[in-house]
Amino acid sequence: CLLSLTTSGAAPDPAPPPASEAEQAEAKAKRRLLSRHMGAALDHMEAARRLLAPLASEDPPAKEAQGVLLAKAKARYTEAAAAYEAAIALLPGVSGAAPERLKLIEKIAYFNLACARARLGEADPALAALGKALELGYGDIERIEQDPDLGDLRSHPRFVNLLERVQARLAKQAMEAAA
């Protein structure tokens, strides 16, 4: 996964800014907090990947060390999932950023949450998060089909159904655009 988007440089919302200085400060603080959650989640995902990398090498560590690496990676994926969930919970209260940018952040957060939950072996929450990302308009079929984080989900009937629905939606959009 590891889709990222920094939120610190978010373009101003075309709507009028909050009326008071206090409201402006609160909006800015929420945008910063959102950025921190997304950044922390990404850091945890990257750290988990680095922890797992030796397991895929030609000379993997001893079994005992493998267990330690797996436990540490699981802890990082758990932290990443919690940070993505915190960002998602915060999004409805964020103002002062372009709505399109916030929608993109939400799609990325849900997609990456799906990846973290899938890596934790939590198929139902992973599929729910992936479904929400797709519902919000996420449509990178190639990434969904090839992302190693989602590998354990690919044989799941709900995964196949989600993929078929997004493919149908994209085909419909392409036909409408051509008309």
pLDDT above 90: percentage of residues in the chain:
64
The DSSP secondary-structure symbol of 149 reads: G
For residues 81 and 40, what is the distance between their CA atoms, to the nearest angstrom? 10
pLDDT per residue over 152-166, tens digit each? 999 999 999 998 988
Closest Cα to residue 136, out of 163, 107, 165? 107
Answer with the residue of higher pLDDT: 172 or 7: 172
For residues 8 and 18, what is the distance between their CA atoms, to the nearest angstrom? 18
- What's the token pair of residue 155? 């044989």
Q: Computed from CA positions of residues 103, 104, 108, 109, in that sequence, does the dihedral angle turn out positive or negative?
A: negative
Q: Is 164 helix (H, G, I), strand (E, B) or coil?
A: helix
How far, in whole angstroms, is CA 5 from its chain's centroid?
A: 10
pLDDT value for 161: 93
The lowest-confidence range among 58-67, 115-124, 146-155 is 58-67
pLDDT value for 166: 85
